[in-house]
Structure 1
C-alpha cells in the first residue's frame, strides 16, 4: 500500500514517528512523510530510512484562517498527486486539515492519532472557552472523515465521545502512547550519592514546570546537596514561562539547563524523573525515563496516570499541588533505598506496556496494515 503520514513538525517524523515509519516500510509499504521542513536535515534522514519527504506549510501555532486554508489546499494537491491508499495524521492541525484534505483528495482510508489535547482544552470558559469551542468544532469536522481514530490513553477517547467530537459508535484504538525504544533508551543503575531530580519539558505552565521548580526550591533549602534539573526549551506563547521567572529559579537553586540534543545522558545521571503535567497524551519523556530504569513522580492526570503503578514504580500527586509534589520527592531523599527497585519496576512496566514494537504493531493493526 501507499501510505502518507502527516505531521505538524518536520523533525517529529524522525524523533517521534521514525520507528513507526520504519515498521511500515519494512512491512513492504511505500511511505511518505508530509510536514513543514523546520530542520534542513529532515529530508536526508527520512531518505536514509527509505521514506520520501514532502514539505507542507502547516503552522503549528496561530489561528490565521487564510493561512490554514492555504495549508489545506496544499495538502489536497499533494494527496491528489501521490494518490495514497491510506493517510495517518497526528497533532491538531494535521489531524483537522489533513483529514479534510484526504477526504477531498479521494483517499479511502483516513486515520488520525490524538497525541494530546494541548492548550485549547485547558479551560472551557472565558476567552479560552471560545478557543475550546472552535477547536472542538474543527476536530468534529476533521474526524468525521476518519475510518478510525487512535488515542494514546483511554481518558482522551472517552472525552471525545462524551462531548460529541466523535460519535460513541466510532471505531477507536488505544495505542498506549507513542511507545519507547527500549534499546535506544537503555537501562542503567540509579547513580549513587546525592539525589538528582530531573524534569524534561518545554517551559510551559501546563507541563507543571512551575510546580517542579517551587517544590525543588523548598527541598533545596532543607537538603542542600540534592539537585534539581529542569531541561528543555522555551516555547513562547500564551502558556510560556517568562525568562525572568526562569532566572529566579536558577538563582534559588534550580539548574535550568535549556534544551539538549540527546536526553539520554541526563536520564542516566538522574535518580528520579519528575513530570507534574496537567494533562498529556502519554508523556514521552516519562516513558524514556522508565526505559532507562528510573522511578517516576508524576500527576494523577490524564495520560500521566497511565505510566505509574502507585508505590511500585513511583508516586502520583494531584495536579498543581506543590506540597504533595514536595512530599513525594522527599520520600526518595529520606528513603534512597526505594530508588533502584522502583527504577527496575519502571523498566519492567515499560517493556510490558510501552515497548515501541508493541505500540507500532497496535497502530498498524488499527490501520489494517
Structure 2
C-alpha cells in the first residue's frame, strides 16, 4: 500500500479542490494523509470520513517572514519523519517550497503542483511595489532551490511552465509535467438550463489581479445601454497586498453591482447566470471557469496565461485583452445581444470540459506522473 501525504495551505481546499483526488487515491488502494493550517472541525471530520489521516501544519499564508517559514519547515519535517509516507504531493507556493525542503531532508520523494505563479511572474509593465518585487525575487530563488529536490513539477498550462523555467525556477526542464487544471467533477457540477434573464456572474477572491475592478467598470458601462442587465459578484475579501477593500465594493453596490459575498456552493449562483466572466490577469487553470462551463455557461475571460487555455474564442466564449474594461464590456454586450451564440457556446463549453477537464481524467494523469496505480485492481495485481 502506497502512502501519499497531500499538503496544502488552505484547509477547505483539501475538500473543495482536492476531495476528488483524495477519494480516487483511496479507491485505488492507496493510503492518504493530508496537511494544512487552521483546519476547522467540520473540514477535519469530512476528511476523516473520506478515510484520510489529518495533520495540522501551522503556516502564515500571507506572511513573508523567514522565521515563520522555517518554523513551518521544521513542523513538516517532524511529521514526515514520524509517519514516513512514500511520497509528498504539494500545491500552492509555501507547501511547494518548504514541503520539498522538508521531504528532501527526510529522504522522501516530493511532487509539486504549480496552480498559479502570482506576483513573482506578473506580466511586464505591471506596477508592483518594492516589497512585491523583492518577494518575487525571493520566491524565484527559493523555487529554484526547492525544485532541485522535487521528483516532478506539475503545471496546469504551458505559459506557466515556460515562464517558470525561463525565470530560473526549474533547472532541469525534464522534471516538468503537464495536467489539465485541477479538473471539475461533472456529476457535482451538472448541466443547468440557461436562463433568459440577462444575468452576468463573476466568482473570485476580491483581488485586483483577478480583474475585479475591470469587471465592475465593464458592468457600469454595459448597464448604461442595457439597464435590465444584472451583474453578480461572488467571493471573499482577501488579506493580500492586492486586495480590494470593503468601502470600494460598497460604492459599486450603491451604483448597481450586486455583491453576494462568499459561498460554499457556487452551483445555485451559476444556475442564475446567463454569462460567466473572469477577467483575471493570470491563472493556473481557473476552476470557476470550468465549473461554469460544466453547467453550460458561455465564458468571457482574459487572453492571459491559464485563462486562454479554457476558451476557444468564438466557440465556447470570448477572449478579451487583459486590463481592458472597454473590450470586456463590448464582449458582454455582444453575447447579451446574440442569444443563439450564447446557447451554442454554452453547449460547446460543456463538451470541452467533458472531453478535457473531467476530474477523473486529471486525477489519473497525476497518478501516472507519480507512478501510482490508478485502480484498486492495478494495486492488487502489483502485490501478487
Question: Residue by residue, what CA displacement relative to the aligned partner does 1:334-356 show, whole Å, maximum 9, x if unpaired?
Answer: 11221111101000000011000
Cross-structure match for 1:87: 88
Question: Residue by residue, what CA displacement relative to the aligned partner does 1:179-219 show, whole Å, maximum 9, x if unpaired?
Answer: 00011000112112x31000001110000010011000111
Cross-structure match for 1:11: 12
Cross-structure match for 1:67: 68
- Give the SS at the match of 2:153: strand
Cross-structure match for 2:379: none
- Tell me the CA shift for residue 222 of structure 1: 1.2
In the aligned structure 1, how far is the partner of 2:104 from the partner of 2:69?
Answer: 16
Does 1:272 find its partner at 2:275?
yes
TM-score (norm 1): 0.97
Does the 8 Å CA contact 2:7/2:36 hold for their aligned counterparts?
yes
Cross-structure match for 1:318: 321
**2:145 aligned residue (109, 117, 141):** 141
Does 1:186 find its partner at 2:186?
no
- Give the SS at the match of 2:206: coil
- Tell me the CA shift for residue 121 of structure 1: 2.8
Cross-structure match for 2:155: 151
Does 1:216 find its partner at 2:227?
no
Does the 8 Å CA contact 2:148/2:170 hold for their aligned counterparts?
yes
- Written as runs of structure 1 = structure 2, the 5 A alignment for 1:128-277 is 128-192=132-196, 194-277=197-280
In the aligned structure 1, how far is the partner of 2:202 from the partner of 2:40?
Answer: 25
- Tell me the CA shift for residue 104 of structure 1: 0.7
Cross-structure match for 1:48: 49
Does 1:113 find its partner at 2:113?
yes
Unmatched tracts of structure 2, length 5 or more: 373-384
Question: Residue by residue, what CA displacement relative to the aligned partner does 1:30-52 show, whole Å, maximum 9, x if unpaired?
Answer: 11001113422122111111111
- Give the SS at the match of 1:190: coil
- Tell me the CA shift for residue 123 of structure 1: 6.2
Does the 8 Å CA contact 1:187/1:292 hold for their aligned counterparts?
yes
- Give the SS at the match of 1:173: strand
In the aligned structure 2, how far is the partner of 1:29 from the partner of 1:237?
Answer: 36
- Tell me the CA shift for residue 168 of structure 1: 4.5
TM-score (norm 2): 0.93
Does the 8 Å CA contact 1:123/1:132 hold for their aligned counterparts?
no
In the aligned structure 2, how far is the partner of 1:216 from the partner of 1:126?
Answer: 28
In the aligned structure 2, how far is the partner of 1:163 from the partner of 1:234?
Answer: 30
In the aligned structure 2, how far is the partner of 1:225 from the partner of 1:231?
Answer: 19
Does 1:359 find its partner at 2:326?
no
Q: How many residues align?
A: 367
Question: Residue by residue, what CA displacement relative to the aligned partner does 1:285-332 show, whole Å, maximum 9, x if unpaired?
Answer: 000000000000000000000100110100000000011101100011
**2:350 aligned residue (331, 347, 353):** 347
RMSD of Structure 2 on Structure 1 (CA) = 1.2
Question: Residue by residue, what CA displacement relative to the aligned partner does 1:149-202 show, whole Å, maximum 9, x if unpaired?
Answer: 10011111111111211125332211110000011000112112x310000011
